[in-house]
Amino acid sequence: MATDNSALWMVAAFVGAVIAIPVLGSTFGGPPTTVTNLATGTEPVDISKTQSIQKRLAKAADIDGARVIGADSEPENWLAHGRTYGEQRYSPLNKITDANVQDLGLAWTFNTETTRGLESSPIVVDGVMFATGSWSVVFALDAKTGEQLWVYDPEVPREWGRKPCCDVVNRGVAVWMGRVYVGTLDGRLVALDAKTGKPVWDINTIDRTKPYSVTGAPRIVKGKVIIGNGGAELGVRGYITAYDAGTGKQLWRFYTVPGDPRAPLDAENQHLKAAIPTWKANAEGWKYWEIGGGGTVWDSMAYDPDLDLLYFGTGNGSPWSRYLRSPGGGDNLYLSSIIAIKPDSGEMAWHFQETPGDTWDFTATQHIILADLQIDGQARKVLMHAPKNGFFYVLDRETGKFISGKNYVPVTWAKGLDANGRPIEDPASSYRDQPKMVQPSPHGAHNWQPMAYNPQTRLVYIPVQLTPYLFPLDKKREVKLGVWNTGLDLNLIATMTAAALAAGQPMPPAEGFIVAWDPINQKEAWRAKHSTFWNGGMLTTAGNLVFQGAGDGGLRAWKADSGEEVWKIDTKTGIIAPPVTYAIDGEQYIVVSAGWGGVGVTLVPEPANAIMKYGNAGKIFAFKLGGQKTIDVPEITRPPMVKPPELTASAAVIAKGAAAYNRYCLVCHGIFAMSGGVVPDLRYSTPEVFARYTEIVIDGELKENGMASFADHLNEDDARAIQAYIVQMANAAYAAEQKPAEPEKPN
């Protein structure tokens, strides 16, 4: 799920209820016949009368399984989430190469009118681009000019922003047989007419009484739309579901963890017979089935049409800590696992658990890549995976058998992998009795940002971060559905961090890299360091290039074989999304969504983060050879801090407020109320906001802006105590701001 501001990196990052700007400044009950081009601000375009656009849109959505399987025969298009079913994120296009990439420049910009994280991987086919923005809004654009063709807003209730783990993001759509499919933040699956953006059907995929959310891109296999969900920390049970692409009818549902072990299993979930004995609740812990158990399938999937197997990764347990979730021990199947199923029936073919009994939030939902490799002189059909836990796995994708694995970052929780790929846990990492610093952190050595595989170099390019994390067990064993249940004492983390900072103790820095990994020999080939830790996903091409955006706003290209940086443009907007590439009229484009967010929202902004100088106006950028060399964005100047209210509360009230803040607010607004720059920094609130904490926190006065009520967990006294704690933090920040800058020392 975390500054160079040192110890603050130890905080679990989470995005949920926040004060936010509504998407597009309005809502759409369905796309109007006339829409405005947000990219250029030009006069409205009447799409009902533009037959050529209608024909292009109809052709662009004419995708089926045969076309995706044969994607290499039309490299000018990006037909599926990872371009192909194998999700390599490799393009055979080579008009842009390591020899001419220095001539790459801006072709067009589309303004999404959002200020939250953008994680979309666009689908681009026959000159039309389908992409998503914050709050699950869908855009259809002319891929050559950036002109908006239509927009669809699913009108997600803004108070739902409290429920997702990591910002109000969406990772993209799927396109199939004339329709565009999107999973919405509030748990729906919507099929849109590709010509108009008008909904064809809109179905609910979740139990709406529970805190589920959907941020992942759907995949479509054999006419079935496959979608999972998130929400493990808040108390849900993970599953993945297939729906008929034509009708929206549910075809099967695969649960990843057991429910109540006393209840009979239905026919399509017989795989849970083997899982139930691996969950060992007892009087010391919680009944896992009453808090969901976790194991949500919130991101990656891949499909092998020859083997007819669909692969997906499962998430962490609910809570993170197995010492509370399953104190009697056990592997807790099928948490933190890769699972292969038959897409026609949802029947499990095999599973491989990467982190048995996970207690660190080491999800296995990170990007999955399928490839054929020569290993020990033998052709192997493999699945490659670099999950949060820090080990790179190569598995036989037909059987699930472990082939090889090695840590691609420093790892302290395990000493290595045994001959079967099972981690050898280091007992010194146990935090059952006392807090322990562990690497990787819940941010993971690799998070959701997709990696890429280049079959020419035979290297996998992984977006990596190093973020140590302090794990203290929650001795109170508190569980509250609908808010984070990590099993960790977040208040103790904040207290220990504050003490360390006050004592001047240095903390391990957090860092971000690209690691180019040789999966055959399980070793690093090269790496490139970033100025920020939280960066974007990967793209690699036949032009011997690797592309990645970063939190500092830079979009860069490296030689895929050597790691030499050969191009950079400053977009002045932090990037976490992966680029894609396509071609129109023989001209190759690189496109990326730019809008910083995700779990980084909760962080104290790093000095190098573009959001500090330029804000966070979300955009989609397209680049081509001969394009504009610079991107002009005015710098922002934050006005001087308004003097906060006088601190009058007692120490006891402030302590109560700190504890409540760390339990309910920290995961959104950051440790010590120091936000990461996307959600509001509460210390800089206006006097009017400081005076209305009860109305905002309890009554939900700002729910339409994304700040939901917490009346289900807090009362008016709690709200006043939280206000007192924020006032204390605000006065400290104000005092620091008033302090004159130290004069520069002479050379």
Q: What pLDDT digit, counting tens, does each position of 282-325 carry?
A: 766 778 998 899 999 999 999 999 999 999 999 999 999 999 99
Question: Which entry of 153, 361, 489, 561 is annotated as an active-site residue?
Answer: 361
Q: Which amino acid is at 441?
A: S
Tell me the average pLDDT across 86-112. 98
The answer to whether 370 and 420 have CB atoms below 8 angstroms apart is no
Helical ranges in 111-213 per DSSP H? none
- Of 233-242, 482-491, 532-541, minimum mean pLDDT range: 482-491
Give CA torsion, residues 176, 178, 184, 189, to 10 deg.
-70
User: pLDDT tens across 161-188, in order?
Assistant: 999 988 999 999 999 999 999 999 999 9
Instruction: Please report the pLDDT score of residue 6 as a whole number.
Output: 32
Whole-number Cα distances in Å, 234 to 179, 213, 479, 480 = 33, 10, 9, 8
Specify the 3-state DSSP secondary structure of 588: strand
In a domain, 20, yes or no: yes
List, in order, residues 6 or more apart from 651 with CB less than 8 Å away.
none
**Distance (Å, whole) CA 558 – CA 516:** 11
pLDDT over 70 for what percent of the chain? 91
The secondary structure of 431-454 as a DSSP string is -SSS-EEESS-TT-SS-SS--EEE
Q: What is the CATH number of the domain that holds 16?
A: 1.10.760.10
Mean pLDDT across 106-128 = 96
Give the residue from 569, 528, 529, 576 showing the smallest Cα distance to 551. 576
Q: Please give the pLDDT value at position 745.
A: 62
Residue 283 to residue 300: CA distance in whole angstroms: 36
Q: Does 189 score more than 50 pLDDT?
A: yes
Regarding predicted confidence, which is higher, 203 or 745? 203
Distance CA 447, CA 451 (A): 10
Residue 234 has pLDDT above 90, yes or no: yes
In a 3-state reduction of DSSP, which class is residue 101?
helix
Whether residue 318 contacts residue 293, with contact meaning beta carbons closer than 8 Å, is answered with: yes
Q: What pLDDT, on the 0 to 100 scale, is given for residue 668?
A: 82
User: Would you place residue 35 in the very low, low, confident or very high pLDDT band (cuts 50, 70, 90)?
Assistant: very low
H or E element, residue 669: helix 666-669
> Residue 28: what pLDDT?
26
Residue-wise pLDDT for 515-525, tens only, equals 999 999 999 99
16 pLDDT band (50/70/90 cuts)? very low
Res. 19: pLDDT tops 50: no
Instruction: Tell me what the mean pLDDT of segment 505-534 comes to.
Output: 93
pLDDT tens readout for residues 240-263: 999 999 999 999 999 999 999 999
Confidence of residue 26 (pLDDT cuts 50, 70, 90): very low
R_g of the chain, CA atoms, integer Å: 24
Query: Is residue 105 domain-resident?
Result: no
Q: Give tens-digit pLDDT for 606-663.
A: 778 898 899 999 999 999 999 999 999 999 988 888 999 999 999 999 999 999 999 9
What's the structural domain count of the chain?
1
Which pair of structure tokens corresponds to residue 601? 């929202």
pLDDT band at 23 (very low <50, low <70, confident <90, very high): very low
Cα 575 to the center of its chain, rounded Å: 12
Report if residue 411 sits inside a domain.
no
Report d(CA 161, CA 379) in Å as an integer: 47
Question: Would you give the DSSP letter of residue 697?
Answer: I
Instruction: Please identify which residue in the block is written with the tokens 């590439």.
Output: 581
Tell me whether residue 426 is one of the annotated catalytic residues: no
Please give the sequence-ordered ranges of beta strands (E in DSSP) within 296-336, or none if there are none: 301-304, 309-313
Residue 41 confidence (pLDDT):
39
Q: What is the pLDDT of residue 701?
A: 94
Q: Is residue 561 part of a domain?
A: no
For residue 637, give every residue at least 6 positions away whose Cβ sits within 8 Å of its Cβ, in sequence order, or none.
none
Mean pLDDT, the chain, integer: 90
Q: Is position 391 within any domain? A: no
Of 40-44, 157-161, 403-407, give the lowest mean pLDDT range: 40-44
Domain encompassing residue 673: 1-30+479-506+638-738
User: Distance between CA atoms of 610 and 534, rounded to whole angstroms?
Assistant: 12
Residue 654, H or E segment: helix 651-664
Concatenated DSSP letters of 401-440? -EEEEEESS--SSEEEE-TTS-EEE-GGG--SSS-EEESS
| pLDDT for 494 | 86
Neighbours of 301 (CB within 10 A): 25
16, 667 contact by CB (below 8 A): yes
For the segment 535-542, the average pLDDT, to the nearest whole number, is 98
Does 603 have pLDDT greater than 70?
Answer: no
Phi and psi dihedrals of 193, rounded to 5? -70, 120
| Residue 676 counted as domain residue | yes
Q: What is the mean pLDDT of residues 546-551?
A: 98
Averaged pLDDT, 143-171: 95
The pLDDT score that the predictor gives to residue 25 is 27
Residue 578 has pLDDT above 90, yes or no: yes
